[in-house]
Every structure is written in structure tokens, then in C-alpha cells.
Chains A and B, each alone.
Chain A
């Protein structure tokens, strides 16, 4: 990725001199021409969201406002916000790019992200809404000894959210610089700092209310932008999907194989196993992502939480269906070499396709569509990082500060103040790490976040809600066991070292062959939760479980 800028500028010079292949212009290479329009749209989004944030901030008076947006959002509004929280730049640009480069395998990747919502719908969203207040830790610690389980839940929440956040921040730097044609290091760092600063402002001032509105606006923009490009691409192919796929296949140079599984994940036996591992982590991880779970506290009832998930499934499903057209459209309209030249991972395939479908590099239509898609990508990044920051600072303030450090003695104001300071601290740390990691390949961190969520959080959540014998020791074993095994396996995997695509390609200390630890760490998390429970000396708290079970299924006494 660090080599791409030079490739682009070389491409720019040749093309501009010869004027032979104007359509070969990569988005980034002629960004100077489109930059004013793109920056204007970025600025519009920033101003609009800041106005919303200040407005939301005025209405944020107590802890329930800050953590849960006052619990006044409707199921539909929250469904939009959940979608906005979930569809990261990785799913927008990443999946479209993966389809553009690897065909079917990019689509295959997207499916786990959608099916996963059924776990949230059937097993998690409603019981969580009924029995918790502000954080995932509320439910995990409900029947358990508070301090050890709160600490574990806080640790796991913060690790998942920070890994996810880091991947987004580093990605934001690369992506936005690419869209704006910024190649200098200082420019990239400035972008990471700007993204970090905005997310601090959104969360400290607007709290959950502000963050929710930012996510809703982003979801509408993302769907509208994608719908427009999808429609234009389909129009060009007379709404004949088969034609579109055929053109993509032949244009890709890979023929029918482009429409079949295998180009990305089927290369070796190891990569097949790796994909299986990833698939399991995606399906089981979503319902354990803290930044998603806390969204269910923003609605008044479990019924509304159910409606949120139903809307989210509809919106996210429709979105992934459109990425099929977007990705194969990019493959049909562009040359594979141009996609790779702009960004090796294909992250700019969607913006490039927008430029092309709008009439090409020299057209006004192309420039407008490119700017629209770039602004949507920028909005996407901001909405997701805000959600992640809120999840980790909420958990720090509510689980660790209020319930562990202050042993439940902190006042609401003290708790919210702690959450705001935690937001600033997390923001500053992630700006620093994001800037340092700007040239590292941190995409693997998203998969790690899903693996931790599936190995540590989901087993503990399900056992807590559904297994009456579950004990504190079981909860601690599943959280720490799932967390430690996923993090260690990734540390000693090709994600971190030993391959040209690793985070640190120069060194090699990997011994675990798979990039995704889920195949081992998820069964281990479930197993440890069970083992910790049966080996437990203390009996489970029956009264507390009765309270949790009755509340979670009926909504009695829900906050």
C-alpha cells in the first residue's frame, strides 16, 4: 500500500501527457481536479453532523441520555443507526473492492456479515434490552460477583472496540488521502487526527443521542449513494444481471472462474480452512460486538429492539445485494490493472466505478459521482468510529470506573464525566496509534475484533442468559479464555508477522497458520465457560438468575 502513491503519480504523468487513455485515470491520480468538490461535500457532512451534535448535547442531561440516548428512539430509527454503526468502510469499499478483484469470493465474504444478524435477533437483542442498562457488562455481571466480572467485561469490550477502532482509523488515513490525492505523510497524519478529533467531539458533546443521529444520517447517505450507483450500473447493462456478470468475468481476464468461489479463499488448503474460521467468527461475532449491543438500549422496549434488528437486516441485506452490482460493475467497467494500481486491496474500486459510470474522468457527471461516493465513505468512517469510541468509553465509565473502582458509589454526574474523559483519552490514543499504524496492514484487526466477540463475549452472554448453573468462575474463564486465545493466536499468525502482507513483514515469529483464530478460540471460549462452571466451588445465585431470566423474557422492571 505504501508503494501505491508513486505508482499513481507515474500513471498520472503518462496519461496526461499522452491523452490516449483518459478513462485510465485513477481516482487518486486526478484528485486535484475533483478535490474542491469532494472537500465541499466532506465539509457539508461535518457541519451538518456538528450541528446535530450540539443540538443533541443540549438535550443530554443525565446518564441515560449520555449512554442510551434517553431510550427514546423508535425501532426504525435505531434500525437505521444499527446499520450505520455496522456498515464500516471495510464493508462498503472493502467488499465492493474484493468482488471487483476476486469476483465471487468477495460476495461470499459479505454473507457471513448478514446471516450473523439472526443470532442477534433470535438470542441476544431482546433479552439484553430487557435486563441491561447501559453496557454489555450489565448483562454479563447481572447474576455474578460484580467486580471480577465487570472488570472482565470491561476489558473485553475495550479490547474489541479498540482493535476495531484502530483498523478504522488507519484505514481512514489511507482511504481519505487516496480520495483526496494526498500522498505526504503529514497529510495522512492530519486526516487521522481530524477523524479522531471529530469523533471525540461527537461523543463527548452529543453522547449516544448525537452518535445515533450521525449514524442515521450516514446510513441514509450510504444507502442513497449506493442505490444511485447500482441503478446507473444496472441501467448500462439494461438491467440484465447475467450480462453484467458475463462482462465482468471476461473483462477480469479470469473467465468463468471469476463467478465461482475460490479465487481468494480457495487458493490453498490453509486458505480454505482460514475462510471457514473467518465465516464462523463473522456469524457468531456480530451478536457479541459491544458497540452493536449498546445500540439496543436506545429504544424503549424489547419489541422496539426486535424491530431495530428486523430493519437492520433489511437495510444491511439490501446494501450487500447492491455491493454485488457495485463490485461486479467495477470489474466490468474498469481494467483490473487500474483497480490494483489505485489501491492494491481494491478499496477504491467503488469510487472508480462511480467515476466511470458518471461519464469518465473528464466529465462533470463522473466528478460529481466520485465526490458523492467519497463523501459517503468519509461519513461511513466517522459514524463507525464514533460508535466504537462510545462503546469503549461507556464500558470504561460504567463497568470499570463506577462499579469496580468506585464500587457503585459514583454519582451519575461523576460517571458521565468519567465517560467523557475516557472518550478524550481513547480518542487521543487512537489518533496516535492510527498515525503510527498508517503504513501497516491492519485490516486483520477487524477479523480479530469479530473473533474476540465470538470467543469471549457471545459464549458468556448466552450462558448468562440461558444456563441456570452458570457461575462467576465460568464467566471469567470464558471471557478471559476467549479473549486471550484469540489475541495470542493472532499475534502468532501471519496477520502480524512472516508474510509480505503482514503487519510487520520484516520479521517472522508466526507458528499458527491461520489468520483467523475463530476455529480454535470460539469452541475454546464455550468449552472454558462450561468447564469453569462445572469446576466451580461456589453455587450459582439462583435468586439472581430468576430475576435475570424473568426480566429478560418478560421485560418486567426493564429500565
Chain B
């Protein structure tokens, strides 16, 4: 579903009518150039749709998640002082642990995305790219 969703950060921008099917209203007037016709074909191909879905279904929800997690941390720091000040051991309190958890989650998400991209995205992207570039050479 999310394949054609608007960027997730918007928050306030409501439903710019996402559709997966080619929308007549969005068709540019005039003929496409030959190069563009090829890009249009690829863009509508099942293979490219699969690449887009694999990318967006991973990146968009994860972006929403880490921004929400960061905002939760900021809001707790702002409005839940007593909870954040709870000492866990020695002078280490909840605030410090949650702050360090932001570092940990950032490192983890970076690693997770790199792995996803290398195993799931790169092979698909590479296949489309090399096909398009051989067609050009031919």
C-alpha cells in the first residue's frame, strides 16, 4: 500500500491521493522523448515496482519509528523530569541510559539498513541498471 505514499515526515500534509496505478491526471501533455519512454516502461515494470516496494516498505516505516522514538525521548526529557531522574545504579539515571539508547538505536538502524540495502536492494537495482545500460549500448 505504502508504495506511493508521500514522505513520512509531513505530519500535517494529509493524503495527497496516493495511487499505484498510472493516474491520467498526472500524465504530462505532449509526447515523451524516446529516452523517457524507456524510463516510463521501466518505472511501470513489475521488477522496478518490486524494488520500489522493498525500499519504501523498509525505509518509510523505519523513518517514522526512529523520529517517534527520538520525539518520545525529547518529550520525556521535557515533561517527565522525575522519571528521567530515577537512579538505576551509582550515579547512572534513566535519562543517561535513554540518551545512550538513542546512540545505540542510531548505530543499530544504520547497520540494519546497510544490511537490508546490500542483500535486498543492491541486487535488484543492479539488475535493472545493467539491463538498461546494455540496451543503450546495443
Contacts and interface: CB of A to CB of B under 8 A. Distances in A.
A550 B128 contact: yes
B91 to A, nearest CB: 4
Contacts of A246: 90-91
Interface string B10-29: 11111011000011011111
A465 B8 CA distance: 13
Contacts of B23: 468-469
A540 B28 contact: yes
Nearest to A462: B7
A129 interface: no
B59 A122 contact: yes
The main secondary structure of chain B at its interface with chain A is helix
A503 interface: no
A112 interface: yes
B73 A543 contact: no
A386 to B, nearest CB: 27
A321 interface: yes
Given A123-B7, A526-B13, A530-B10, A554 B132 contact: yes
5 contacts: A107-B99, A112-B74, A114-B106, A262-B81, A317-B107
A111 B99 contact: yes
A47 interface: no
Nearest to B133: A556
Interface string A520-559: 0001001101100110000111111111011101111100
A261 interface: yes
Contacts of A266: 77-78, 81
B95 A555 contact: no
A547 B42 CA distance: 9
A510 interface: no
A292 to B, nearest CB: 16
A275 interface: yes
Nearest to B58: A122
B36 A547 contact: yes
Given A265-B78, A458-B9, A122 B63 contact: yes
A417 interface: no
A467 B28 contact: no
Nearest to A320: B103
B11 A123 contact: no
Counting from the closest, the 3 A-B pairs by CB-CB distance are A242-B90, A543-B36, A462-B7
A270 B112 CA distance: 37
Contacts of B114: 306, 310
Contacts of A547: 35-36, 39
Given A118-B63, A260-B85, A275-B78, A555 B129 contact: yes
Given A242-B90, A468-B4, 20 more contacts: A104-B96, A108-B77, A111-B70, A111-B99, A117-B110, A257-B85, A272-B78, A275-B74, A276-B71, A284-B9, A306-B114, A469-B16, A526-B11, A527-B12, A530-B10, A542-B22, A543-B33, A547-B35, A553-B48, A553-B52
B93 interface: yes
Nearest to A463: B7
B103 A114 contact: yes
Contacts of A526: 9-13
Interface residues of A, number: 77
Given A317-B103, A467-B7, A542 B132 contact: no
Interface string A304-329: 00100110011001001100000000
A89 interface: no
Interface in B80-104: 81, 84-85, 87, 89-93, 95-96, 99, 102-103
A263 B59 CA distance: 36
Nearest to A103: B95
A173 interface: no
A443 to B, nearest CB: 20
B36 A259 contact: no
A306 B73 CA distance: 27
Contact of B106 (A118, A249, A257, A539): A118
Which of A313, A543, A551: most chain B CB closer than 10 A?
A543
Contact of A279 (B71, B87, B92): B71
Contacts of B128: 550, 554, 556
Interface in A230-250: 241-243, 245-246, 249
A492 B78 CA distance: 25
A466 interface: yes
| Most B CB within 10 A of own CB, among A261, A265, A533, A551 | A261
A86 to B, nearest CB: 14
A38 B59 CA distance: 47
A425 to B, nearest CB: 35
